[in-house]
Amino acid sequence: MKTIVLILISLYSVQLLAQKSGQRDWELGVTAGMCWYNGDLNPNKLFGREYYHETFGLSLRKNFNQRFAFRTQLNYGTLSAADEASTSEFQVNRNLNFSTPLYEWANTIEFNFLPYDALLNGKRFSPYSFIGLNMFWFNPSTNVEGNIYELQPLATEGKSYSRLSVSMPFGFGFKWAVTDRFIFNADWGMRRTFTDYLDDTSGSYPNQSELEGLSENLSDRSLAQSGPNGTNWGTQRGNSQTKDWYSLVTVGLAIRIGPKKGSCKQIGI
């Protein structure tokens, strides 16, 4: 009886190995798409053409099983916005603009809504969701009459901040194993950052005595002064109660790194 049980367990184990064929393989790929920013200079537009920029990346995915995978990515893009493009009277008068390069190291856990396996017919497609933790570097600058100035060293609000920060990515997409080697995917991921200075704008105009020279000139570029004392110093410049966001919409093509379909290694032999 014990021998029969052991034989049945062994057969079941072999069957599981066969079913798990490509589940634990790696996938190396490239991505491309567009990115944009949301914050004080673009409070709520998600799909505004004036904010789009190209983004490119490299990705490495590790499949744990048919439901879960880990993906790490290196992404590059640009984020920008200008008050003059807004319909808000406050923003148009504030008259700020910024642009920053974005270098991102993204790490996410993916959950497949359908069982996914690049080597098994009927399981080569699945929508998925993801969440994780990213690190990114940014360096906001502004354009004044064709001249570019880096803003972080100037402390235009009288405060210093780090150009290295973290964000929490989350979103959804789908993956499709076109062949047993090539995998296509597309996704939309939003990043909730833990900084309010992607755009170098957060709280209030500092007291005028705190700034001088170029810092003072770039802090207040308003078309008209509207403070109670006839200036903007000490009045609202941004919204410090909310953090900045950015988003990436990308498509990617990856190659599966693992045994060929139908090989002995595929079924664990």
The alpha-carbon radius of gyration of the chain (Å, integer) is 25
Q: What is the CATH number of the domain that holds 58?
A: 2.40.160.20
Is residue 12 within 8 Å of 211, Cβ to Cβ?
Answer: no
Number of domains in the chain: 1
Residue 110 CA, chain-centre distance (Å), reads 14
Residue 150, pLDDT score = 98
Q: Which of 29, 38, 6 is nearest to 243 (CA)?
A: 38
How, if at all, do strands 53-63 and 26-38 pair?
antiparallel
Is residue 222 within 8 Å of 94, Cβ to Cβ?
Answer: yes
Is residue 175 within 8 Å of 183, Cβ to Cβ?
Answer: yes
pLDDT tens digit sequence for 201-251 = 999 999 988 999 999 999 999 999 988 888 999 999 999 999 999 999 999
Query: N- to C-terminal Cα distance for the chain?
Result: 27
Residue 199, pLDDT score = 97
Residue 39, pLDDT score = 96
Judged against a pLDDT cut of 70, whether residue 167 lies above it is answered with yes
The parent domain of residue 237 ranges over 2-267
Question: 10 Å Cβ neighbour count for 214?
Answer: 13
* Range with the largest mean pLDDT of 15-19, 43-47, 248-252: 248-252
* DSSP assignments along 138-173, one per residue: E--EEEETTEEEESGGG-TTS----SEEEEEEEEEE
Alpha helices in the chain (DSSP H): 2-19, 89-94, 213-219
Measured in degrees and rounded to the nearest 5, phi and psi for residue 15 equal: -60, -40
